[in-house]
Chains A and B, each alone.
Chain A
Amino acid sequence: MFSQFETWYRDRHDYARRWKERTGGKVFGCFCSYVPEEILVAADILPVRVLGNHEPQDVTEQHLFGMFCPFCRDVLAQGLKGRYEYLDGITIAQSCIHLRQTYRSWEENVPHDFTYYLPHPMHVASPHAVPYLYEELKKFRAAVEQFTGKPLSDDDLDRGIRLVNENRAALHELYAHRKGPVPKLSGLEAMWVTVSSMWVDKEEHTAELRKVLAQLDEREEQFGDGTRLMLVGSENDDTDFIRMVEAVGATVVTDDHCTGTRYFWNETPELDDRIEAIAKRYVERPACPAKDHVARTRFPHILKLARDFDVAGVILIQQKFCDPHEADMVPLRSYLEENGFPTLFLEFDVTVPMGQFRIRTEAFLEMLMEEDLF
């Protein structure tokens, strides 16, 4: 049922190359989920989230400090090894310093026709955040227009907003199927869908997802036996990890990752000024911890997700050396545990030490189910 999404997830580069051949359009690599995809889609540009591929590499040492996170190293390695050679442009919306350095090193070492560093408010709870981003998005729009040679009309922006919002709405519906006592899909399948939505043409992705949604109620395969878990943390597209967690007796039913719910959770509102609408959307979306200080709006949001999806426990999993998530991790653990959700903390590296993680996950599940054990 989810095989198309699995294929898109696995063959991401082939997909983008074929999309270019088929449409003759341009493809931009996006370094963060804060990049306003609406503007790119409006300009007929395919936004592609740039991710790592989880294999050891030896090409980034001279570009990045040793204690920068493994994700930013893995991403840079993809650029230096030419895996994204089809990109016409790259852009980043400022979130964390590690990834910004990856972007800068990529920009210096991998030639592209278009590069754009988009300053983005770091204090999203500030009343100045939307006006600030509004001004920056106007400049970004102008740069994109200059690149394509075609001004963006309100109709173009409406189309961009609609296509991205429709995909978000479909992803929401998919997640709703994970809420009930018997989830209709596994966490692994959900990951294929959400992560692939970050590089597949929105219209195509939504159409495929709608086909699956129409069949989900009738699906016979059951996912109700596992202990219901939530994953919370930094970038996570690690299918090996989620596959292992679900193989030892859990079902992952929701998440707070920038490759999951944080990416699609809120829609762009309808406003007369389309750029203002997009600015509001990216300021008001579930926050990355890099932008959530001092307010920490993400804590009650995560708690609500945990309750709505009726999870038994939460695995907090972040990229090793991810400073923003490390800043939140200690108070977040206490907060969740005070509210009745036990947690397990794990750190991602480029590859996952599967044996060690399996033991920890199994021990965590035993802890959650100990009443049944004895």
Chain B
Amino acid sequence: MITIGVDVGAKNAKLLVLRDGEIVGKKSRESGFDQETVTNELLAATLAEFGIDRDEVTGICSTGAGRKAVQYAGDKITEVTAAARACFELYPDTKTVIDVGAEEGRAIRSGERGKVEDFAINEKCAAGSGAFTEAMARALEVSVDELGRISLKSDASVPMNAQCAVFAESEVISLLHARTPKQDIAKAIHDAIASRIVSMTRRVGLNKPVVLVGGMARNVGFIHSLNTAMQDEVRIPDAPEMIAAYGAALVAAERAVVAATETGASGPG
């Protein structure tokens, strides 16, 4: 059975193909302005690249902020449910999922079988999200990858108090003027995001093991700051930005089985 999960996030749309529980293809591109066209093209490109016929696909489930734009999805679930479901599949003993994407940070308390017991999402504030690191990298004139790497070279602890991304940027500029080394500023940025995320996670309970997913799970500087703040090593799956799409594909598969069972039960014999 082939199912597909599509995660339309604030910045990128991700599509993942599952065949009998195994990931056989994944692809992403910027969500853009016209999400409907982007997700249509993404589906067509993925099917073509991996040689899958549309008729072979049993179910499609969409998730993410733009999930309603995915016209061809039979099911739609929130990214909270999708991430928890995927993390349970990968790490059945998961207690907490931290999902940090481009514009939102989420903390999920995961129960039995990946059931969401509680969740928290950052409020109207970009300072706990991927977009924040992009803005800060621009201010430091480094790439986002570099921001993560240079931050690992620092063992300084520079406090950053700003609660909003714009004020944080002016705080970074002040640090630059004070000739604070870039690596120390980079670490201060990651420490500040990690502190905000850990604080939000404590609202739902910071129970271990913790799985970190979303695009920010690719930032080595943030991971280090998060581990330090939690005094633990978070688990990070391969392709952490594809996790919600993976969860959606798993849900599509489960629902296809349920639908087939129900159809069978009502049939003759």
Contact = CB atoms under 8 A, between A and B. Distances in A.
Nearest to A367: B116
A360 B115 contact: no
**Contact-size category for B:** 10 to 19
Interface stretch (A143-151, A279-287, A351-359): A351-359
A342 B111 CA distance: 14
A370 interface: yes
B80 interface: yes
B116 A347 contact: no
Interface stretch (B29-37, B118-126, B150-158): B118-126
Given A359-B65, A373-B251, A374-B254, A366 B81 contact: yes
Given A356-B121, A356-B124, A363 B113 contact: no
Contacts of A355: 65
A308 interface: no
A362 interface: yes
B117 interface: yes
A367 B80 CA distance: 9
Contacts of A366: 77-78, 80-81, 116
Contact of B78 (A349, A362, A374): A362
Contacts of B254: 374
Contact of B113 (A349, A359, A360, A374): A374
A356 to B, nearest CB: 7
B87 to A, nearest CB: 14
Interface in B62-112: 65, 77-81, 85
Given A355-B65, A363-B81, A370 B115 contact: yes
A374 B77 CA distance: 11
A353 B124 contact: yes
B65 to A, nearest CB: 6
A353 to B, nearest CB: 6
A362 B116 CA distance: 12
Interface string B120-144: 0101100000000000000000000
A366 B84 CA distance: 12
B116 A363 contact: yes
A360 B122 CA distance: 11
Nearest to B254: A374
B118 A342 contact: yes
Contacts of B80: 359, 363, 366-367
B208 to A, nearest CB: 21
A316 to B, nearest CB: 13
A355 B80 CA distance: 15
A359 B123 contact: no
Interface string A333-374: 000000000100001010001011001101100110010011
A360 B65 CA distance: 11
A341 to B, nearest CB: 12
A347 B81 contact: no
A114 B101 CA distance: 55
Contact of B116 (A353, A356, A370): A370
A373 B88 CA distance: 15
Interface string A231-256: 00000000000000000000000000
B257 to A, nearest CB: 10
B214 to A, nearest CB: 15
B123 A367 contact: no
A347 B124 CA distance: 10
A360 B121 contact: yes
A312 to B, nearest CB: 14
A373 B77 contact: yes
Contacts of B121: 356, 359-360
A349 B65 CA distance: 21
Given A342-B118, A367-B119, A373 B124 contact: no
B251 A374 contact: yes
**Which of A342, A347, A356 has the most B CB atoms < 10 Å from its CB?**
A356
A246 to B, nearest CB: 17
Contacts of B113: 374
Interface string A18-41: 000000000000000000000000
Contacts of A360: 121
Contacts of A370: 81, 115-116
A226 to B, nearest CB: 17
Nearest to B103: A356
B150 to A, nearest CB: 33
Contacts of B85: 374
A330 to B, nearest CB: 10
A349 B121 CA distance: 17
Nearest to B78: A363
Given A366-B81, A370-B81, A347 B118 contact: no
A370 B110 CA distance: 12
Nearest to B258: A374
B129 to A, nearest CB: 13
A367 B77 contact: no
Contacts of A342: 118
Contacts of A359: 65, 78-80, 121
A363 B106 CA distance: 11
Contact of B81 (A349, A353, A373): A373
Given A355-B65, A366-B81, A374-B113, 14 more contacts: A349-B124, A356-B121, A359-B79, A359-B121, A362-B78, A363-B80, A363-B81, A366-B78, A366-B116, A367-B80, A367-B118, A370-B81, A373-B81, A374-B251
Top 5 closest pairs, chain A to chain B, by CB: A363-B80, A363-B78, A367-B116, A366-B81, A362-B78
13 contacts: A342-B118, A355-B65, A359-B78, A359-B121, A362-B78, A363-B78, A363-B116, A367-B81, A367-B115, A367-B117, A370-B115, A374-B113, A374-B251
